[in-house]
A = this chain, B = another copy of it.
Amino acid sequence: MTTVSWVEDSADSGFGVDHLPYGVFSRPGELPRVGVAIGAYVLDLAALSAAGLIEDRHWFASGSLNGFMVAGRTAWQANRARLTELLTDEGHRAAVEPRLIPVADVDLLRPIDVADYVDFYSSLDHATTTGKIFRPSGDPLPPNWKHLPVAYHGRSGTVFPSGTPIVRPCGQRRTDPDRRPAYGPCLKLDFEAEVGFVAGVPSAPGTRVPTGAFADHVFGFVLVNDWSARDIQFWESQPLGPFLGKSFATSVSHWVTPLAALEAARVPQPAQDPAPLPYLRVDEPWGLDLDLEVLINEQVISRPPFATMYWSSPQQLAHATVNGAPLRTGDLFASGTVSGPERDQRGCLLELTWNGRDHLELPDGSERLFLEDGDTVTMRATAPGASGSRISLGEVSGTIYPATP
């Protein structure tokens, strides 16, 4: 179904009426509240509600999406249908247009209050390349990798919105196994291009969320940069996994793209051999044909294809809850680094420079092994939209600041 909004120039902006992502914004002197992106504007849902134009059960005059996310799929669908009506019917234009604010005039905030944060490791190309870098003589994949989506818990308190400065972390690292570890600023600061989904509807302790119930619980998708201090991470990770090498910062995009906006992006995920255990089987295509791009200082260095991910989002959710762990509203599940099979599809510098062995040349002629102070890393993604054009998942961006003494 192709519909066109009366909002000028919105159709080909990536933020047409077939998208309608949710975010939280504020203006100086005003309280944060929920808005939806349309073209170059934010539609102020709190103002629409105050004018009696949409249903609102205390969802929108809020500094996070969590209240609306817990309302569930029927409420999400109803609000989307009503916003589509308001934004396409010229008869509503006079009432709605005053509630549009140029996006350039607002501060976009972190859209969700994060409950728990889980990070997966679901790209076969990323896991294979990483394995080759660190275990050149062995099997690049650990024995469990094709049987379950490997994951760990990250720090939810350091999930920041796009644009938050990233201060280079300090910590312990040991570069020479014959010497004692040293303390200092991270020498191998990296990004990881990821896509995450956000739980809206909780589940009860002791229950499982089967793959078929994914859309009943999940509100939408965001872009994620899981900043990584490789030298700190490598030294600390045995035997319990990453800790300080990740916990200093994770950035998320400002806009949450609802599942309903991604219908045209759904594709079959790659074939899985061996066949996964029954609780991980999917009946519907839940691969997502998202095209990512990663930029350093506004120069594209990589284009990871999300459609290549081995484990799909419903499989990740079913796995994370198979032990009865409940979902809470605001749980964030990130995909792990998205990498494709080609060199220019790798989603982190660890892969792009072979852990600092090979320089990555940027279009401006400069070279990187890892990130330098002052570098700005930006990730963007687009997907097929219902209108035949492409929707934009916005961007997640961050600039590296020097370590504090």
State the interface size on chain A (CB cutoff 8 A): 62
| CA distance in complex: A274, B148 (Å) | 39
CB distance from A165 to the nearest CB of B (A): 8
Q: Nearest CB to that of A327 among chain B residues?
A: B157
Chain A contact surface mostly:
loop
Are the CB atoms of A325 and B155 closer together than 8 Å? Answer: yes
Asked whether A206 lies within 8 Å of B167 as measured between CB atoms, the reply is: yes
**A170–B116 Cα gap in the complex (Å)?**
21
Return chain B residues, CB-CB under 8 Å to A357. none
Q: How close is A329's CB to chain B, nearest CB, in angstroms?
A: 10
Q: Verify B148–A236 contact, CB threshold 8 A.
A: yes
Which parts of A317-345 form the interface with B (CB within 8 Å)? 319-320, 322-328, 331
Count this chain's copies in the assembly.
Answer: 2
Question: Which residue from B157, B182, B236, B242 sits with its C-beta under 8 Å from A144?
Answer: B236
- CB pair B277 A172 closer than 8 Å: yes
User: Which residues of B lie under 8 Å from residue A236 when comparing CB positions?
Assistant: 144, 148, 150
Residues of B within 8 A of A239 (CB): 121, 142, 150, 237, 241
A76 interface residue per 8 A CB criterion = no
A326 contacts which chain B residues (CB < 8 A)?
157-158
* Cβ-based interface call for A143 (8 A): yes
Whether A229 lies near B274 (C-beta < 8 A) is no
Contact yes or no, A319 B205, CB < 8 A: no
Q: Which of A288-338 contact B (CB under 8 A)?
A: 319-320, 322-328, 331
- Beyond A241-B242, A242-B240, whether A323 also contacts B121 by CB under 8 A is no
6 contacts between A and B (CB under 8 A): A144-B236, A153-B154, A237-B240, A237-B241, A244-B320, A324-B404
